[in-house]
Chains A and B, each alone.
Chain A
Amino acid sequence: MSAAALETARVWLVVALTLFGLFFTLVSMTGVLRLPDVYSRAHTASQADTLGAGFGLAAVALTVGLAGAGFKSVLLLFFIFLTNPTAAHAIARAAFEEGIVPWTEGDDRR
């Protein structure tokens, strides 16, 4: 494969990754708007972080090259993967300790 073809493939891959990232961020936003209670929203809010940011950072790494800033974006993803569930857990746990009963089927709150 020639260098130019490789370059084109890289650009298209970056575009694809960015679109995937945007898609999951959009899904996540839709979920936060549509889902009924704090627990189920916490599920979908983490989607924006895991795959939304995941694909976005992959696109960044591919754009800038794996040396230097690209490597840092991988580290960034690593830290997001550590902090995101911790924050989601903290919110859910706070709700649980406040005595908020999770929404189930048949509940009028929606």
Chain B
Amino acid sequence: MWWVADADSPSDAGDPGDGSADSVGSTAAADADAAGGPAAAGSVIVPVEPTSTLRSTIAHVAEAAATGGAPAIHLVEIASWRNGDPESDERAAAAERVLERAAAWTAADLDDSEAPGAADVEVVTAVIGADDYLFGADDYVRVLAEYAEANRADRVVLDPEYTPVGNTTLLQPLEFALSNTSLSVETAPVDRPTRRERFRTEATTGRLVALFGLSLGFYLLLGDPTYWFDAVTGVATAAIVSITLSRVSLDSDPAIPRTPMRILRGLVYVPVLLFEILKANLVVARVILDPRLPIEPTMNRMRVIVGSGLPLMTLANSITLTPGTLTVRARDSDLYVHSLVPWAREGLFDGSLERWTRFVYYGRRSARLPTPRERDDVAILQGDDATEELPIAAADGGDVTAEGADPTADPEEVTDR
């Protein structure tokens, strides 16, 4: 059976026995050893911070430890404060909570693991390095190495999002410095959410209020605004929605002249977009009903200037809504757009949708930029007019871009018939 040992050293803030301010990191580690029971060679150390990938890192470590027969998993928080600092007690308590949660996850993962060694893996938590101010990667590594030596651990698994002091990206220097020690270092092979800052933003009052108003308005629009029951349930629903989702749904605060102007300009854009959709629909319908099926599909690349986030989504969705053009990938400000007929491609390169998107979000002045074609921000990736290679052609190992796809290039493609 697993068990959770608390390996806090006496020097840790928040510990009643605090007072050994002269102790160094190794003391903490030695105490951890004593409290954590017998530690044999092969234990794993995981530096812990509350990151988005901590959960999956722990899942990986637990599975690896269970199958590899590691005697213990040490979850350590490297203190970025020093004991006795103002607020050090709060920070130590916060670190404890993170460690507790991480230990619970590890325990649960070990419990669920089917590997025979899972039951013998011990989970130890510790806060280390709280006796000193740590500067830079070398200090962190020194503390980690001392802890590892005292606990006979030989492996460090790093969470890919791990940053010991807030926002500074210390992971790479940390990995490099660790590689100079006898410890083996591994970054957990877990998926990092791309652009996580976009999915999870700060919660501010402005966003909370905006989202509350929006949800309540929508709820009452669907119900009966004059009926008291709808008003009460609407407020409750809007409160739940705004509290749970205000961090993910809006990525900037609503601002007074800007937000209403965007909405107004958006209302102007809607009929324009509808007209574009109607026009493109008729052209595509004609092509499809033509017995010869005169299509010339190509993949294209266009570097757009609209800004990231919502404007880019608006543009990409507008392009997809218009038949004949389909946004396949958005990479930074590069849109990969598939076009069905040259007419649709030319229309895309003329950039009217891009211009309208800029108009909606930034006003008339910004709308007047040169078109993508004039800026030379466009490329055709397929067909006779190809100006650039298709980025996926390399994976297929053939030059399928220049003269159209080679039918024998990839057996997998045939399934796409």
Inter-subunit contact A46/B288 (CB<8 Å): no
B395: Cβ under 8 A from any A Cβ: yes
A72: Cβ under 8 A from any B Cβ: yes
User: Across the interface, which residues of B come within 8 angstroms of A81, CB to CB?
Assistant: 321
Number of interface residues of B (CB under 8 A): 50
Mask of B204-234 contacts with A, CB within 8 angstroms, 1/0 = 0000000000000000011000000000000
Inter-subunit contact A30/B288 (CB<8 Å): yes
Interface with A: B18-26, B246-254, B367-375, B401-409, which one? B401-409
CA–CA, A96 and B260, complex, Å: 37
Known: A40-B340, A101-B390, A105-B404. A89 touches B326 (CB 8 A): yes
Inter-subunit contact A101/B414 (CB<8 Å): no
Inter-subunit contact B326/A103 (CB<8 Å): no
B277: Cβ under 8 A from any A Cβ: yes
Inter-subunit contact A104/B416 (CB<8 Å): no
A31: Cβ under 8 A from any B Cβ: yes
User: Across the interface, which residues of B come within 8 angstroms of A88, CB to CB?
Assistant: 320, 326
Inter-subunit contact A107/B405 (CB<8 Å): yes
CA–CA, A99 and B328, complex, Å: 12
Residue from the set B289, B395, B400, B416 with the largest chain A CB neighbour count within 10 Å: B416
B297: Cβ under 8 A from any A Cβ: yes
Partner of A100, one of B298, B323, B403, B413: B413
Inter-subunit contact A107/B295 (CB<8 Å): no
User: Across the interface, which residues of A come within 8 angstroms of B417, CB to CB?
Assistant: 36, 109-110
Inter-subunit contact B288/A27 (CB<8 Å): yes
Interface with A: B41-49, B129-137, B188-196, B278-286, which one? B278-286
Partner of A96, one of B281, B321, B323, B329: B329
B327: Cβ under 8 A from any A Cβ: yes
A85 to chain B, nearest CB (A): 3
User: Across the interface, which residues of B come within 8 angstroms of A107, CB to CB?
Assistant: 404-405, 407
Partner of B412, one of A39, A43, A99, A104: A99
User: Across the interface, which residues of B come within 8 angstroms of A50, CB to CB?
Assistant: 277, 281, 321, 323
User: Across the interface, which residues of A come within 8 angstroms of B392, CB to CB?
Assistant: 96, 99-101
With contacts defined as CB atoms under 8 Å apart, how many contacts are there between chain A and chain B in the complex?
147
Number of interface residues of A (CB under 8 A): 47
Inter-subunit contact B298/A104 (CB<8 Å): yes
Inter-subunit contact B295/A35 (CB<8 Å): yes
Mask of A58-86 contacts with B, CB within 8 angstroms, 1/0 = 00000000000001100100000110111
User: Across the interface, which residues of B come within 8 angstroms of A93, CB to CB?
Assistant: 328-329
B202 to chain A, nearest CB (A): 25
Inter-subunit contact A92/B416 (CB<8 Å): no
Inter-subunit contact B221/A38 (CB<8 Å): no
Mask of A20-54 contacts with B, CB within 8 angstroms, 1/0 = 00011001001100111111101110110011001
Known: A27-B285, A92-B338. A43 touches B317 (CB 8 A): no
CA–CA, A34 and B23, complex, Å: 77
CA–CA, A99 and B409, complex, Å: 11
Inter-subunit contact A39/B326 (CB<8 Å): yes
Residue of chain A at shortest CB distance from B290? A34
User: Across the interface, which residues of B come within 8 angstroms of A42, CB to CB?
Assistant: 326, 338
Inter-subunit contact B393/A72 (CB<8 Å): no
B293: Cβ under 8 A from any A Cβ: yes
Inter-subunit contact B404/A106 (CB<8 Å): yes
B309 to chain A, nearest CB (A): 15
CA–CA, A95 and B297, complex, Å: 15
Inter-subunit contact B416/A84 (CB<8 Å): no
B382: Cβ under 8 A from any A Cβ: yes
Residue of chain B at shortest CB distance from A51? B281
B331 to chain A, nearest CB (A): 11
A108: Cβ under 8 A from any B Cβ: yes
Inter-subunit contact B289/A30 (CB<8 Å): yes
Inter-subunit contact B413/A109 (CB<8 Å): yes
Q: Given A89-B320, A109-B405, list of 14 further CB < 8 A pairs?
A: A36-B295, A40-B295, A42-B338, A84-B321, A86-B317, A88-B326, A89-B317, A89-B328, A96-B392, A99-B412, A102-B299, A104-B383, A104-B404, A107-B404
Q: What are the nearest 9 A-B pairs in CB distance?
A: A85-B320, A106-B404, A104-B404, A85-B317, A108-B407, A31-B288, A27-B285, A92-B328, A39-B338
Q: List 14 A-B contacts (CB under 8 A).
A: A27-B285, A27-B289, A35-B293, A39-B297, A40-B338, A50-B321, A51-B277, A85-B320, A89-B316, A89-B328, A96-B328, A101-B393, A104-B296, A110-B417
